Amino acid sequence: MIDEAVIREAMDALAAVDPDVAKGRELVGDPEPRIRPHGFETLLRIIVSQQISTYAAAAIMARVEEHMGDRTAESFLALNDEALRNCGLSARKVEYARGIAEAIARRQLDLPSLHVKPDTDVIKELSALKGIGVWSAEIYAMFSLGRTDIFPADDLALQEALKRLKRMRKRPTAVIARKKITKWKPWRSVGALFLWHYYKGAPQ
């Protein structure tokens, strides 16, 4: 779990090896934890929130949860498509969510086993699901599994924040971004949290 104590430890380590992080930390402080439950509910939230506003996603998720009962994959599968569409889910999102729920219910996706698998295997297994790309799998690994050394380099906000932090002329590509933060190992997840925090709080 990446809680406040872990973030404080990681930020101390990052600031010690990267003067830009140390300066940025003085400016905006440490990021807040982003802890999400491990399981189907969080994967469903990822599907629901794709390409819509945070407010709209929350409203749709609340309506779905009213019908789900115990919020498990099995209870989701008990809902018919019409009920899900009335909650605000598109046909494509219903398809994706059902596919994930079925994979869990049939034990094709063994959620408990993800805790003991390496980061690369977790991301590969999750991103193989329809509707869950690499970025979503990385976010799940960070926030739901508490993995401390993941960096979602394709995230545009992270790229922009890194550009500002490192005073780069243009926003780095994912490949360049990963090279720039190599010395952040083994705390790259906390480095990502800090960059999102810096993106919102630092002057442009």
Are 44 and 64 contacting, i.e. CB atoms less than 8 angstroms apart?
yes
Kindly list the structural domains of the chain, giving each domain's residue range(s) and its CATH number in brackets, ordered by start: 4-34+150-201 (1.10.1670.40), 40-143 (1.10.340.30)
Q: What parts of the chain have a pLDDT lower than 70?
A: 202-204
Confidence at residue 151, expressed as pLDDT on a 0 to 100 scale: 96
Q: What's the pLDDT at 202?
A: 64
CA distances for 185 relative to 18, 95, 143, 149, 180, angstroms? 11, 37, 18, 6, 11
Give the contacts of 73 (CB within 8 A, at least 6 positions apart).
Answer: 40, 100, 101, 102, 104, 105
CA torsion angle for 189, 192, 193, 195 (degrees, to 10)?
160
Percent of the chain with pLDDT over 70: 99
The answer to whether 195 and 162 are in contact (CB under 8 A) is yes
Kindly report, residue by residue over 175-203, the tens digit of the pLDDT. 999 999 999 999 999 999 999 999 987 66
